[in-house]
Amino acid sequence: MYLNNKMLFSIHILADEEFDELCFEFGLELDEITSEKEILIREQGGEKAEGASDVVLYKIDVPANRYDLLCLEGLVRGLQVFKEKLEAPRYKRVSPADGGEPQRLVITEETASVRPHAVAAVLRNITFTQERYESFIELQEKLHQNICRKRTLVAIGTHDLDTISGPFTYTAKPPGEIRFKPLSQSREYTAAELMSLYKTDSHLRHYLHIIENEPLYPIIYDSNGIVLSMPPIINGDHSKISLNTKNIFIECTATDLTKAKITLDMVVTMFSVYCDEPFTVEEAEVVYPDGRLSVYPELAYRTETLSGDFINKRVGINESAESIAQLLTRMCLRSEVSGEGDLIQVEIPPTRADVIHACDIMEDAAIAYGFNNIVRSTPRTYTVANQLPVNKLTELLRQDLTAAGFTEALTFALCSEEDIADKLRKNITETRAVHISNPKTADFQVARTSLLPGLLKTIAANRKMPLPLKLFEISDVVLKDETKDVGARNNRRLCAVYYNKSPGFEVIHGLLDRVMQLLDVKPGRNQGYHIQASYLKIYFNDSTFFPGRCAEIFSCGKSIGHLGVLHPDVISRFELTMPCSAIDIDIEPFL
């Protein structure tokens, strides 16, 4: 969102640095200082930018939960209140001024299966300018992306009320039975036709999936059968708003009623400022299939009572209740001391749906006080540190492996199925691998079940280094394990490879001897460690190794891994050319 100098002036800010500070203090991101011209040059090239405005623009990013700051109107209002240049407005729901019946939206039961909720409101006697109109459209788009979760939860439709007549009906129909002229099109289409038309629309195609496979599509008609909108896809052309629109009918259809109410409140609180009677919103009635009637927008003000002591203790400051009430008022939370002790009455306006707990109020007090004005103090919490045993062992072994001449590699825990199966001459079903359902590339299909592929890829990437290459990694692999709540567990493994003109089995064997010496396990069959031939037919694991050049490692009678010369096919599948030997052991038995 871009602010200009005029808006900065309205919050009494003159210097860029001062504005930068304000953004930091308030929790906004001042992305860059630019101009319309610069933006055009960057996005469309120099030619298009000719004659564009040089007026300085400030690009602002807003935190994800502050819907009230999503448009310029709200942001400037918020900053003006924060700087105490403006008192937060009170938003009011009113009955139709002519004393007539409120607009009514009737929901039919067919909507239940696809998009069961709807809310509505009217903005009367609004005055648009080009800027205001653009901001109005932009806010709807931002809400759609943000709280409406790309229109899945809520979709907003705004209509020129003077082109339609209520009561309105929100229903759902088979796509073949829906026919209307949509926004920006010159003729009528059936809903089925529209869905295929919008398949190629760069913007709308992202929303088609929401209703595409539903037997009934949501649709809103006026009393004359004119289509207002087919939520959450497109509005009708008939009721489209323009710069000259005076009265706006706003409907939000939803799968989440709470979010629909918030969305409606946001649209009307932000733009009622341009109504003849600012900050008033005309009510609309929504009738549910069961006959229940609700009046919207809710524009609910809620009062929370908390003590100054609570704020002081949680933030770590020592302010009077009055001063805390003043801090909160600057955050659009109108507050006053109630007179009983240090209790503060805090009024949460409909624009601050993000305030759901006293801790949210506490945060606002802290922001208004200034995070960086809070005295930093050390907690007195006394504790004794403990290392996680498996990490402690890992740290010790890593040091010793480098001293033994091996260099540490750091490789990804995710890889392709091929890396842990085909390339190691194993069948994927034997690996006990955890599979990822939605990887963007084949590099992340599974969690690794062995450290070996990562090390071999590291060697392949360093083929130009002088031989021999001696690498190791001590890290976790992931294996399916039914006994765990999530059905999988990590396993800490030590893997090392030796890559040279000769296989160097004795080097890798020597490394095993050294590791066992460090772990204080002596060579021997029973209480010690030994290696023994591992035969292809008995142990499927051996397929990674060259026949007759693989041994299984036993420590205290328990198999802990393998060592051997890699199978030539494994070597070439990792695009290597030299003989290579490797060791792969589980270190968890040594904890």
Partner 1 sequence: VSPSERKASPKVDGGTDSQDVAADLGVDHQVIVGAVKSLQALGEVISAEQKSSRHWELTGEGREIAEQGSHEARVFNAIPDEGLPQNQLMKMPSGKVGFSKAMSNKWIRLDKAHEGGPRVFKTVEAIEDTVRDKLQLVQKGQSAKLEDKEKNELKKRKLLSEVTVKSYWITKGSSFSTTITKQETELTPEMIASGSWKEKKFKPYNFEAMGVAPDCGHLHPLMKVRTQFRQIFLEMGFTEMPTNNFIESSFWNFDSLFQPQQHPARDQHDTFFISDPALAHEFPQDYLERVKKVHSEGGYGSQGYKYDWKIEEAQKNLLRTHTTAVSARMLYKLAQQEKFTPVKYFSIDRVFRNETLDATHLAEFHQIEGVVADYGLTLGNLMGILHQFFTKLGITKLRFKPAYNPYTEPSMEVFSYHEGLKKWVEVGNSGVFRPEMLLPMGLPEGVSVIAWGLSLERYVDTHT
**CB 395, min distance to partner 1, A:** 7
Of 242, 107, 121, 266, the closest CA to residue 183 belongs to: 242
Cβ-based burial of 293 (10 A; exposed 0-12, middle 13-18, buried ≥19):
exposed
Using DSSP bridges, classify how beta strands 280-282 and 92-94 pair: parallel, antiparallel or unpaired. parallel
Name residue, tokens 């070439």.
572
Q: What angle do CA 351, 352, 355 make, to 5 degrees?
A: 165
**CB 102, min distance to partner 1, A:** 25
Are 170 and 218 contacting, i.e. CB atoms less than 8 angstroms apart? yes
Question: For residue 552, what are the β-bridge partners?
Answer: 532, 562
**CB 66, min distance to partner 1, A:** 7
Greatest Cα pair distance in the chain: 99
Of 322, 142, 110, 368, the closest CA to residue 216 belongs to: 110
Q: What angle do CA 432, 435, 440 make, to 5 degrees?
A: 155
CB-nearer residue toward partner 1: 189 or 406:
406
**CB 154, min distance to partner 1, A:** 11
Of 345, 570, 353, 567, the closest CA to residue 457 belongs to: 570
**CB 276, min distance to partner 1, A:** 34
Angle between helices 321-329 and 358-369 (to 10 degrees): 90
**CB 567, min distance to partner 1, A:** 26
- Residue spans of alpha helices (H) in 91-248: 130-145, 191-197
**CB 584, min distance to partner 1, A:** 18
Residue 547 C-beta-side C-alpha neighbours within 13 Å: 3
CB-nearer residue toward partner 1: 182 or 504:
504
Residue 468, preceding peptide bond in cis (omega within 30° of 0): yes
Q: Is 316 left (phi over 0), alpha (psi -120 to 50) or beta?
A: left
At 519, list the tokens: 């772990």
DSSP letter assigned to residue 236: B
The beta strands (E) that lie in 467-566 are given as 469-480, 488-499, 529-533, 545-555, 558-566
**CB 514, min distance to partner 1, A:** 12
Are 69 and 79 contacting, i.e. CB atoms less than 8 angstroms apart? no
488-524 CB burial, b ≥16 within 10 A, e <16 = eebbbbbbbbbbeeebbbebbbebbebbbebbebeee
CB-nearer residue toward partner 1: 167 or 468:
468
Question: For residue 346, what are the β-bridge partners?
Answer: 304, 335
Of 281, 228, 277, 271, the closest CA to residue 136 belongs to: 271
**CB 162, min distance to partner 1, A:** 35
Are 478 and 449 contacting, i.e. CB atoms less than 8 angstroms apart? yes
CB-nearer residue toward partner 1: 200 or 386:
386
